[in-house]
Structure 1
Amino acid sequence: MLRLVLASNNAKKLSELRALLAGLPLQLVTQGSLGIAEAEEPHHTFIENALAKARHAARACGGAALADDSGLCVGALAGAPGVVSAHYAGEVAVVDGEDREARRRRQDAANNAALLAALAPHADRRAHFISTLVAVRHADDPEPLVAVGRWPGEILTAPRGSHGFGYDPLMWIPALDATVAELPAALKNQHSHRARSAAVLREMLGTAWHL
């Protein structure tokens, strides 16, 4: 059984990736459970940030690690929000006594408002969610596994739906006739960008790492 350290402390991401990689002989644990601090993400591309996070976690734990860098890319905005998707509007101010979830909701609302304002002059509202997964056997692995998943859609002019988080209420998926925020979690996880990148990674883990 391979221990694979997830370079994230996001409980939802851990749960989702555990489900997507279920059946493989590996144990997925968060870096936080091992006392590993989060890595810097100074790069302009998803792949560079994912690789930096994976190498950081691998070096700290002395073994294999997995990182995900994901976000929203809008063609009319030259790929923005891109790697700054989580803080596209700038980081919201800290409010005394506010829990992490409440702050995240305020951040999401600010990001959505900023996206709508930026897209207002544009007729082309095509966009896609992207997930880039990078796995390394050790910190200096010369052959990292890189799996990319894209989920295309269109940005609405107003949010719809109450599920999900981030840009989900604005992201319309024509093939499903719904926004991502209107989809049940199980259906979202079947079609999402992370589901697509994880499917590619599963195959690579089998062929390259013989899992």
Structure 2
Amino acid sequence: MMDAAAPRRLGAGRLVIASHNAGKVREIGDLVAPFGLDVVAAGALGLAEPEENGATFRDNALIKAEAAAATAGLPALADDSGLVVPALDGAPGVFSARWAGPGKDFALAMRRVEEALAGKSDRRASFVCALVLAWPDGHHEVFEGVVHGHLVWPPRGSNGFGYDPIFVADGDNRTFGEIEPKEKHRISHRADAFRQMVAACLAPARP
């Protein structure tokens, strides 16, 4: 989903990845690599992490992208994503990172999800991603992606990050923690949102 009928194109140059999550920075960096952009992480620029107090993934991605773009004076790309579990009334949702505690311990977060699902037969889940591309002048474009699946226990695989080791996408039998990054880039919620952004705002770099 886009904010405008005529999206703004992103030209070659520096792009801030507005995240302090090393896994997200790496994954987004891999996705934008073919487009000739000079990518720099917010942490490398010393940018503070804004308070993510939005009610939706879209709200939080917008907070991060606009803060980074305004502070760095550069276009910024932010992702807010998380695990949505219908049997838990949508939790952990926008609080997905907070379920990992101050130490960002996702082994703890995954155990919390499994404990909350005790006695429930519905193990459906979705990963949702809101991707926001913002410019220093306040303009922004928003894209939203989703991948549906179910949760397994115990966690499997050491690839990916976050809740990946307990999530199996529909049509597969491997967790996101068991598949290779290149394959995940083709099927993930982030990849879904990113394809929309590419079509609207990016063009491959010329050889």
Asked whether the two chains share a fold, i.e. TM above 0.5, the reply is: yes
* Aligned residue in 2 for 1:168: 164
Question: Which of 128, 132, 138 is the aligned partner of 1:140?
Answer: 138
Question: Which of 55, 62, 69 is the aligned partner of 2:80?
Answer: 69
- 1:35-79: CA deviation from partner (whole Å, max 9, x where unpaired): 211111012211001001111111101231111101100111121
Bigger shift: residues 19-28 or 149-158: 19-28
* Aligned residue in 2 for 1:127: 125
- Once the two structures are superposed, the pairs formed by residues 36-51 of structure 1 within 5 Å of their partners are 36-51=47-62
Report the 3-state secondary structure (helix = DSSP H, G, I; strand = E; otherwise coil) of the residue aligned with 1:148: strand
> Structure 1 residue 3 and structure 2 residue 14: aligned?
yes
**Structure 2 unaligned regions, length at least 5:** 1-11
- 8 A contact 2:155–2:166 mirrored in 1: yes
* Aligned residue in 2 for 1:57: 68
In 1, Cα distance between the equivalents of 2:61 and 2:137?
Answer: 13
Aligned CA RMSD, in angstroms, stands at 1.9
Report the 3-state secondary structure (helix = DSSP H, G, I; strand = E; otherwise coil) of the residue aligned with 1:117: helix
Report the 3-state secondary structure (helix = DSSP H, G, I; strand = E; otherwise coil) of the residue aligned with 1:70: strand
- Once the two structures are superposed, the pairs formed by residues 19-34 of structure 1 within 5 Å of their partners are 19-34=30-45
- 8 A contact 1:149–1:195 mirrored in 2: yes
Percentage identity across paired residues of the two chains: 42
In 1, Cα distance between the equivalents of 2:199 and 2:158?
Answer: 33
- 8 A contact 2:23–2:161 mirrored in 1: no
* Aligned residue in 1 for 2:3: none
Report the 3-state secondary structure (helix = DSSP H, G, I; strand = E; otherwise coil) of the residue aligned with 1:161: coil
Bigger shift: residues 78-87 or 174-183: 174-183
- 8 A contact 1:147–1:197 mirrored in 2: yes
In 2, Cα distance between the equivalents of 1:160 and 1:21?
Answer: 28
Q: Write the letter of the residue equivalent to 1:53.
A: K
**Structure 1 unaligned regions, length at least 5:** 93-102
In 2, Cα distance between the equivalents of 1:25 and 1:169?
Answer: 32
* Aligned residue in 1 for 2:9: none
Evaluate the alpha carbon distance shift between residue 158 and residue 33 of structure 1 in structure 2; reply closer, same or farther with a 3 A threshold: closer
In 2, Cα distance between the equivalents of 1:11 and 1:127?
Answer: 24
Higher relative contact order (CA 8 A, sep 6+): 2
Bigger shift: residues 32-41 or 12-21: 12-21
- 8 A contact 1:149–1:196 mirrored in 2: yes
* Aligned residue in 2 for 1:12: 23
| Deviation >3 Å, runs of 4+ | none
Question: Which of 190, 197, 207 is the aligned partner of 1:194?
Answer: 190
